[in-house]
């Protein structure tokens, strides 16, 4: 804008000079002044927020979360981790590993409906899967009480034996038929509805201290452009995928009356164009968050990989502006193990540049979980602890202490 203003000012002075020196010269060349560049204003307001959401009847806290995530991206990127309250490097419990390192909890807590909807969960107190369900629910409630944002993925077991979500564990016939079988009219459609009934029951009972429903982000059928999961691109057509996604949203929202969910759409990192990204997109009325999972571009590819990741994030960030949606790096990380050493400045240089270069607006980034033998986020004792701490304290980074009140619309 400054450049345009100076250009106009210079040309205006030129016009004055020409007019004063040769006002009677009819052969003066015509001087064209470029119009100023007009930047469109953000159409999202506190009054119209639900008109841009997948659920026009979203609870006020859920609408506030959408609004605040969208606005947050202009200045900050919220940092989160999967299972941050329950999974720790070297099983060193207590505070989240992020808090052990930085003094603050993450801004995002990732959870999974996998054990909650498992066939072995019998809702009995002595059942391991039910115990995991209670642990996940308690973590989500604790996160909400701290002002943290909750997001859930779903590693749904395939419908035949319900033993695995990996396509590699299935027969060729199962891979060819599993996804189609959960669509309306399919062999396992009623089975799929029962799984959604369980999710609905959990989400409708997820309540804060004042009885209000706790908003969550739900990311069904993620990384669908790869074919490691049974809902992957090799096992369903784009129309099949859209139908399943649309049914999932409609069933939870309209049939089960769940109105405290934001819906995230997140392929892996294979796309390079907007058209490719949208090839299985179920439509603006079904999606709140335009996401991407991306490990590959950050796997020891240095600045080249960071630039590739940034260009893909730029695609969804621009789409999020056009569609008035939220852009996010919904899953990423570089796992350090006993045989895989940290990459110098991975967080503070490569990841941070991917999230911030080219003035993109990304609302959050989420790392996968730590475990006994490996970590994605360093606690305070490992060699790259300072790299993460540096990353988390940068201008655009936000842990929970840097978040606004995410569940209240600004006055």
Q: Are residues 140 and 233 in the same domain?
A: yes
* Structural domain boundaries, residue 350: 45-402
Clarify whether residues 178 and 150 are in a common domain: yes
User: Is 407 contained in some domain?
Assistant: no
List residues with catalytic annotation. 223, 331
Distance CA 325, CA 70 (A): 7
- List beta partners, residue 111: 152
- Are residues 5 and 124 part of one domain? no
The reply to whether 9 and 110 lie within a common domain is no
Residue 134, SS3 per DSSP: helix
CATH code of residue 326 = 3.20.20.80
Residue 408 lies in a domain: no
- Longest CA–CA span in the chain (Å) reads 98
DSSP per-residue letters across 257-287: ---SEEEEE---S---SHHHHGGG---GGG-
Residue for token digits 């490719």?
276
CA angle 88, 81, 352 (to 5 degrees): 120
One domain, residues 172 and 202: yes
Q: Do 30 and 101 have their domain in common?
A: no
Residues 142 and 114 in one domain: yes
My answer on whether 154 and 93 are in the same domain is yes
In a domain, residue 136? The reply is yes
Considering the domain architecture, whether residues 322 and 339 belong to the same structural domain is answered as yes
Instruction: Give the separation between CA 341 and CA 334, rounded to whole angstroms.
Output: 10
The total number of structural domains that make up the chain: 2
135 and 25 in one domain?
no
Same domain flag for 331 and 262: yes
Q: Do both 398 and 364 map to the same domain?
A: yes
The pTM of this model reads 0.90
* Rounded-to-integer distance, Cα 72 and Cα 66, Å: 10
List, in order, residues 6 or more apart from 68 with CB less than 8 Å away.
404, 405, 406, 407, 409, 410
- d(Cα 362, Cα 359) in Å, to the nearest integer? 9
Q: 244 in a domain, yes or no?
A: yes
User: For the packed helices 172-181 and 238-250, what is the interaxial angle rounded to 10 degrees?
Assistant: 40
Each residue's pLDDT expressed in tens, for the chain with a length of 411 residues: 444 433 434 344 333 333 333 344 444 555 666 666 554 567 999 999 999 999 999 999 999 999 999 999 999 999 999 999 999 999 999 999 999 999 999 999 999 999 999 999 999 999 999 999 999 999 999 999 999 999 999 999 999 999 999 999 999 999 999 999 999 999 999 999 999 999 999 999 999 999 999 999 999 999 999 999 999 999 999 999 999 999 999 999 999 999 999 999 999 999 999 999 999 999 999 999 999 999 999 999 999 999 999 999 999 999 999 999 999 999 999 999 999 999 999 999 999 999 999 999 999 999 999 999 999 999 999 999 999 999 999 999 999 999 999 999 998
Residue 196 lies in a domain: yes
């Amino acid at each position: 804008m400054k450049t345009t203003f100076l250009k106009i000012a210079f040309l205006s002075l030129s016009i004055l000079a020409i007019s004063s020196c040769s006002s009677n010269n009819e052969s003066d060349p015509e001087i064209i002044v470029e119009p100023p560049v007009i930047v469109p204003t953000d159409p999202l307001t506190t009054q119209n927020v639900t008109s841009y959401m997948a659920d026009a009847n979203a609870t006020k806290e859920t609408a506030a979360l959408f609004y605040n995530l969208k606005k947050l991206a202009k200045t900050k990127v919220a940092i989160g981790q999967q299972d941050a309250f329950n999974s720790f490097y070297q099983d060193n419990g207590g505070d989240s590993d992020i808090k052990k390192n930085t003094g603050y909890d993450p801004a995002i807590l990732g959870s999974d409906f996998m054990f909650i909807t498992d066939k072995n969960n019998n809702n009995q107190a002595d059942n391991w899967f039910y115990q995991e369900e209670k642990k996940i629910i308690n973590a989500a409630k604790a996160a909400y009480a701290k002002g943290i944002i909750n997001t859930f993925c779903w590693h749904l077991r395939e419908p035949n034996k319900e033993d695995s979500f990996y396509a590699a564990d299935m027969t060729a016939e199962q891979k060819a038929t599993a996804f189609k079988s959960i669509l309306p009219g399919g062999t396992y459609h009623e089975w799929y509805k029962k799984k959604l009934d369980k999710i609905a029951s959990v989400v409708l009972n997820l309540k804060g201290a004042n009885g209000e429903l706790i908003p969550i982000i739900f990311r069904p059928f993620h990384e669908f452009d790869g074919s490691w999961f049974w809902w992957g691109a090799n096992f369903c057509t784009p129309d099949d995928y859209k139908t399943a996604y649309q049914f999932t949203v409609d069933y939870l929202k309209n049939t089960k009356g769940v109105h405290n969910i934001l819906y995230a759409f997140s392929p892996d990192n294979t796309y390079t164009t907007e058209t490719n990204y949208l090839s299985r997109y179920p439509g603006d009325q079904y999606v709140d968050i335009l996401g991407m999972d991306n490990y590959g571009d950050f796997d020891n590819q240095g600045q080249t990989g960071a630039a590739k990741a940034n260009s893909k994030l730029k695609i969804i960030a621009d789409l999020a502006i056009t569609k008035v949606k939220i852009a996010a790096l919904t899953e990423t990380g570089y796992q350090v193990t006993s045989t895989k050493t940290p990459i110098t400045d991975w967080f503070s240089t490569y990841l941070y540049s991917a999230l911030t270069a080219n003035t993109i607006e990304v609302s959050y980034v989420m790392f996968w979980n730590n475990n006994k033998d490996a970590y994605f986020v360093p606690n305070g004792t490992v060699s790259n602890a300072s790299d993460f701490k540096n990353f988390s304290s940068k201008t655009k980074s936000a842990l929970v202490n840097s978040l606004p009140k995410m569940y209240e619309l600004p006055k």
